[in-house]
Homo-oligomer: A and B are copies of this chain.
């Protein structure tokens, strides 16, 4: 079995270090990934061909997956699609926990690199929810409360999360209620907000020039999944004194890099 040797060699150099992977489980997962990736139902032959294993093996793996509800047969015939169990699993789970987990090290790195407080946020209705943060030992620090809800339209995280919204969607989201002015800089119209969003899409990051809290500047970048959808945001906050305009580019670099890395982690997929 020459394939096996090559395979384990590739696997070995990977992440954890070198605990051997269980072959049949790994193959089962590959089947799930393959079927999940394909828009059309996948035939048994196709599975076997891609994994380079015998049809009978593919059949038995697929059958096991089907018994557990991870695969299903479209009404028509015998090709495979993902089953209800995958859905169930993802539904009953609190994903912000997972996000926080995989992103935590990057968050910490960002805090260290910039020497400022870093936050991780997701959208929750008309608010941004901080699901994790990492501080640095500063006398004056932006208090980062994980679990805190802040408005979308006047924070860097909020605006990063809105990056792909146009004026119409913004209107649909915020309704006709006027936006509350938190500081002199708060953006108050969806029209202006839409222009901000456009800029965010172009630059890759959002700013908050004391639009929510006086004396605080923030930068945040949208985290996108492999399909390009914004699923979260990562950024830093600092008192204006420590965040002069000339540092923006430097900070932005760190923030967008972190966002990209996390996005790739979420969308990560092993070869073969």
Q: Given the interface contacts A25-B64, A25-B65, A67-B14, does A84 sit within 8 Å of B72 by beta carbon?
A: no
Q: Which of A78-112 contact B (CB under 8 A)?
A: 81-95, 97-98, 100-102, 104-105
Q: Does A11 contact B (CB under 8 A)?
A: yes
Q: B28, A22: Cβ atoms under 8 Å?
A: yes
Residues of chain B within 8 A (CB-CB) of A266 are 84, 87-88
Q: Does A267 contact B (CB under 8 A)?
A: yes
Residues of chain B within 8 A (CB-CB) of A27 are 25
Question: What separation, in Å, do the CA atoms of A101 and B71 have in the docked complex?
Answer: 11
Chain A contact patch, size range: 35 or more
Q: B268, A36: Cβ atoms under 8 Å?
A: no
Q: A226, B88: Cβ atoms under 8 Å?
A: yes
Q: Which residue of B lies closest to A41 (CB)?
A: B97
Residues of chain B within 8 A (CB-CB) of A102 are 72, 83-84
Q: Does A6 contact B (CB under 8 A)?
A: no
Listed residue (A20, A32, A69, A84) with the most chain B CB atoms within 10 angstroms of its CB: A84
The interface residues of chain A, by DSSP majority, are classed as helix
Q: Does A24 contact B (CB under 8 A)?
A: yes
Question: What separation, in Å, do the CA atoms of A186 and B207 have in the docked complex?
Answer: 48
Residues of chain B within 8 A (CB-CB) of A37 are 92
Question: What separation, in Å, do the CA atoms of A39 and B94 have in the docked complex?
Answer: 8
Q: Given the interface contacts A16-B67, A90-B86, does A24 sit within 8 Å of B21 by beta carbon?
A: no
Q: Which residue of B lies closest to A56 (CB)?
A: B19
Q: Does A26 contact B (CB under 8 A)?
A: yes
Cβ contact of A67, chosen from B15, B28, B87, cutoff 8 A: B15
CB distance from A226 to the nearest CB of B (A): 7
Residues of chain B within 8 A (CB-CB) of A94 are 39
Q: Does A212 contact B (CB under 8 A)?
A: no
Q: Which residue of B lies closest to A90 (CB)?
A: B90
Q: Does A270 contact B (CB under 8 A)?
A: yes
Q: Does A225 contact B (CB under 8 A)?
A: yes
Q: A26, B64: Cβ atoms under 8 Å?
A: yes
Question: What separation, in Å, do the CA atoms of A64 and B29 have in the docked complex?
Answer: 9
Question: What separation, in Å, do the CA atoms of A269 and B91 have in the docked complex?
Answer: 14
Cβ contact of A93, chosen from B20, B36, B59, cutoff 8 A: B36
What are 17 of the A-B contact pairs (CB < 8 Å)? A11-B67, A15-B67, A16-B63, A16-B66, A19-B60, A19-B63, A22-B24, A39-B94, A74-B100, A75-B101, A84-B267, A87-B93, A87-B98, A88-B225, A88-B266, A91-B225, A91-B227
Inter-chain pairs besides A25-B27, A36-B92, 5 sampled, C-beta below 8 Å: A14-B67, A25-B25, A28-B29, A83-B102, A87-B90
